[in-house]
Amino acid sequence: MIDFEPTEEQKAAVKMAHDFALNEMRPIALECDKEGKIPDELIKKAAAAGLTAMAIPEEYGGGGLDQVTAAMVSEELFWGCAGIATTLGANSLATTPMVIAANEEQKRKYFPRLTDPDNPKFAAFCLTEPGAGSDAASISTTIREEGDYYVVNGQKCFITNGGIADFYSVFCTFDREKKYGGIAAIIVERSYEGVSIGKKEDKMGIRASNTTEVIFDNVRVPKENLFVPMGQGFYNVMVTLDMTRASVASGAVGIARAAFEEALKYAKERVQFGRPIIAQQAISFMLADMAMQIEAGRRLYLLAAWKASKGLPCSLESSYAKAFCGDMAMRVTTDAVQIHGGYGYMKEYLVEKLMRDAKIMQIYEGTNQIQRVVIAGNLMGVTDAYPWG
């Protein structure tokens, strides 16, 4: 009934992602973190390896990875560099709502833009606003009909790839009074008049990734770009996040694993009181806890991803995985810094970056407090009301 053996395809995908992380990401990870950007050359290589369009079905030129394989690949990429991995993964977040709800014409028009290895472009998921973070139903970006167009007005913030995206999947409301019943989603191209990029954020971690405000000022969008009608937008967001949170959780496992490996190596090499510090029980027990928590996190994200890949309700498992793995990555990276002592606090040691990167795993794609809201809601039987449940 239970098989923990990955398929041959999964092994190949993980190997490819690990080699990419090791050979292409790791050597430039500290530099990208410092500079706050990623060389175009690396993006091209990632696109050629199929890592910029993992969630897009094969018939549109994407990787067509199922959720389990995508999550396993994400663990490797975050092991390489969480900032670069976030940039690549944000395409999946932006396109999953479209994979779920866009029509054939919309998919054929927009997906190939992300899969061209010679000129890979990015997409961005535009939900969060200054006044609507955890409370996603209260977004205030508006959409209204005007002749052959819809007109979009509003401001989005903390948008991953906001400044480098070619197009955005934008969640907006036809009628705020209707709360989540008014929400729809539309594809807005960066080149449309009235689209501008606001503040570029200077972040604690995942610094290689681009995070900006995106402003829509009377943007006229062709009607055929609406891909989720009014009333369905909030459900689309919820189902999207249920599907993508396993890959955030697996990313957290990747960061934690990187920190654990560094700490283990250091603990074997560092001699104090005449022996390697790993011989001190205080240190070896910390390492044992780290290994145990990483393994537990991996099982949780695999369960969530497996349910998502089977089309089963996975809200509860996705939230278990996201909250556990995010919190776990923060603990493990903090302990890895601790094991390194003063050296771990210095920027030339990888664990310093890993601890900063881990923090976002407790925040983005729904804070870990929101994951507990979802878990508690499920425990109280609220899921019975979900049309998909």
Catalytic residues: 365
* Of 235 and 343, CB closest to ligand COS: 235
Among 216, 227, 234, 320, binds ligand COS (CB under 6 A): 234
Interface segment toward ligand COS; rule CB under 6 A; list 41-49, 170-178, 320-328, 368-376: 368-376
Residue choice 96, 315, 362, 378 for contact with ligand COS (CB under 6 A): 315
Q: Which of residues 46-65 bind ligand COS (CB under 6 A)?
A: none
Contact between 272 and ligand COS (CB under 6 A)? no
**Interacting stretch for ligand COS, rule CB under 6 A, among 65-73, 130-138, 141-149, 220-228?**
130-138
Task: Name the phi and psi angles at 122, rounded to 5.
Answer: -120, 160
Taking the chain, what is the end-to-end CA distance rounded to the nearest angstrom?
Answer: 24
364 near ligand COS (CB under 6 A): yes
Q: Which of 95, 335, 365, 375 binds ligand COS (CB under 6 A)?
A: 365
The closest residue (CB) to ligand COS is: 366
Q: Which of 7, 136, 24, 1 is nearest to 79 (CA)?
A: 24
Is there a contact between 125 and 94 (Cβ–Cβ < 8 Å)? yes
Under rule CB under 6 A, residue 388 binds ligand COS? yes
Contact status: 161 vs ligand COS (CB under 6 A): no
180 lines the binding site for ligand COS (CB under 6 A): yes
**Among the residue ranges 55-63, 161-169, 253-261, 361-369, the one whose residues contact ligand COS (CB under 6 A):** 361-369
Nearer CB in complex with ligand COS: 70/339: 70
Alpha-carbon span 206 to 193, nearest angstrom: 30
Per the CB < 8 A criterion, the answer to whether 14 and 6 are in contact is yes
**What are all long-range contacts of 278-285, with beta carbons under 8 Å and residues at least 24 apart?**
283/339
Instruction: Determine the Cα–Cα distance for residues 277 and 55; give it in Å rounded to an integer.
Output: 44
* Contact status: 251 vs ligand COS (CB under 6 A): no
Contacts of 220 (CB under 8 A, 6+ apart): 146, 149, 150, 151, 192, 193, 194
In whole angstroms, what separates CA 7 from the centre of its chain?
A: 24
Judged by CB under 6 A, which stretch of 132-140, 211-219, 269-277, 282-290 contacts ligand COS?
132-140
Q: Interface with ligand COS includes 385 (CB under 6 A)? A: yes
Q: Is 168 left (phi over 0), alpha (psi -120 to 50) or beta?
A: beta
Cα separation, 327 vs 375, in Å, equals 15
Position among 49, 137, 279, 291 found at the interface with ligand COS (CB under 6 A): 137
- Label residue 272 exposed, middle or buried (CB < 10 Å: 0-12, 13-18, 19+): exposed
The pairing of beta strand 271-272 with beta strand 226-228: unpaired
Identity of the residue, 171 or 260, whose beta carbon is nearer to ligand COS in the bound complex: 171
Give the nearest distance from C-beta 181 to ligand COS in angstroms.
8
Which residues are registered as beta bridge partners of 189?
167
Binding site for ligand COS (CB under 6 A): 127-128, 134-137, 180, 234-235, 238-239, 241-242, 315, 364-366, 370, 373-374, 385-386, 388
